[in-house]
Amino acid sequence: MKIKSAIAGSLPKPHWLAESAQLWAPWRLEGEELREAKNDAMTIAVANQLRAGIDVIGDGEQSRQHFVTTFVENQSGIDFKNKKTMRIRDRYDALVPVVVDQIHRERSVFVEDAKFLRTLTDKTLKFTLPGPMTIIDTLFDQHYGSREQLAFAFAEILNEEAKELVAAGIDIIQFDEPAFNVFFDDVRNWGVAALERAASGLSSKTAVHICYGYGIEANIKWKNTLGDEWRQYENIFPMLAQSSIDQISLECQNSKVPMELVEILRGKQIMIGAIDVASNTVESAEDVAKVLREALAYVDAENLLACTNCGMVPLARDVANGKLQALAAGTALLNNELGL
């Protein structure tokens, strides 16, 4: 069976939907115009993936302004008007919404997007949701008084949402948990359990994406403090290896993660990040194949997926399209080499 390619999640938005190449850019339209424009943007995002030759298709996260906030603002129990300042992942301060009451799911957030996505292609579809630990890391809690309890409250809601997405035809549900790379004790004590709760009972494949963040300044500064070898994954892989999660998405291109750490996850499906999303340089097919080849020492070919390090929303559209093509071409190169 051939090695397949997939993107981690986001792609840049067209400038008529929101300012391009910018994180968290506000919408340029509203109401029915916005709804229609989001669907048009999703159609383009899917077409670009298909044209490049990507195998596992996503919506490019065209309908969300922020990968956490857009999900959270559709739940009750949270005050978005009186925000408070909080330190995010120990790296930068941000004004965040406040949890003021029990959290309930008001409505499905992405199910209409998933239904529309399903009409665009017959290929395997992946849909991304923020993970419980990463969600609570961007909220100021005034009600639960326990990070664990708040995370499990979100895990319940995420599970309801995920079940609706699967019913709409999604094949892989991915939870984004960059916070796993920071709060190792929490991951051990309840983080993986909360993730498994969010993923429980799903008839789809389940995945978790753990990266070192978008290529924004605060993250680049943080990476510079991590030394010559990034061994953060070593703290969390043993728990993930024993978890019920099927696929794990990692940052490997231009990262200082020692590839041998992937061995800890032997038996899991691994999405190896072979595209650097913090650089405007478009990789060659050989750059992509090189990282995948290195990974093959620690993951069986049938469990290897080629992926991007993280989302590509901060990139210019032509750069992102170039990287999509490099990802697919590098994967094809390796498949040829292996005679797959």
Residues engaged in binding Zn ion (CB under 5 A): 211, 310
Q: Cβ 10 to Zn ion, closest distance in Å?
A: 9
- The bridge status of strand 269-273 relative to strand 126-130 is unpaired
CA distance linking residue 293 with residue 301, whole number of Å:
10
Q: Cβ 311 to Zn ion, closest distance in Å?
A: 6
Nearer to Zn ion, 200 or 254 (CB): 254
φ and ψ at residue 159, rounded to 5 degrees: -65, -40
Nearer to Zn ion, 128 or 159 (CB): 128
Q: Cβ 57 to Zn ion, closest distance in Å?
A: 18
Nearer to Zn ion, 288 or 310 (CB): 310
Nearer to Zn ion, 6 or 120 (CB): 6
Strand order in 75-88's β-sheet?
A: 75-88, 92-105, 140-141
- The bridge status of strand 75-88 relative to strand 92-105 is antiparallel
- Beta-carbon contacts of 224 under 8 Å, excluding residues fewer than 6 positions away, are none
Nearer to Zn ion, 99 or 130 (CB): 130
Q: Cβ 7 to Zn ion, closest distance in Å?
A: 11
Q: Cβ 209 to Zn ion, closest distance in Å?
A: 6
Q: Cβ 16 to Zn ion, closest distance in Å?
A: 26
Nearer to Zn ion, 179 or 193 (CB): 179
Say which residue the tokens 């109401």 belong to: 31
CA distance linking residue 202 with residue 241, whole number of Å:
19
Nearer to Zn ion, 193 or 310 (CB): 310
Residue 247 carries which DSSP code? E
Q: Cβ 310 to Zn ion, closest distance in Å?
A: 3
CA distance linking residue 159 with residue 151, whole number of Å:
12
φ and ψ at residue 284, rounded to 5 degrees: -85, 165
φ and ψ at residue 338, rounded to 5 degrees: -85, -5
Nearer to Zn ion, 144 or 233 (CB): 233
Q: Which amino acid is at 25?
A: A
Q: Cβ 266 to Zn ion, closest distance in Å?
A: 23
288-314 b/e with 16+ CB inside 10 Å = b? bbbbbeebbebbeeeebbbbbbbbbbb
Helices assigned H by DSSP within the chain:
31-52, 69-72, 111-120, 132-136, 147-167, 184-186, 192-198, 217-224, 232-242, 285-295, 317-338
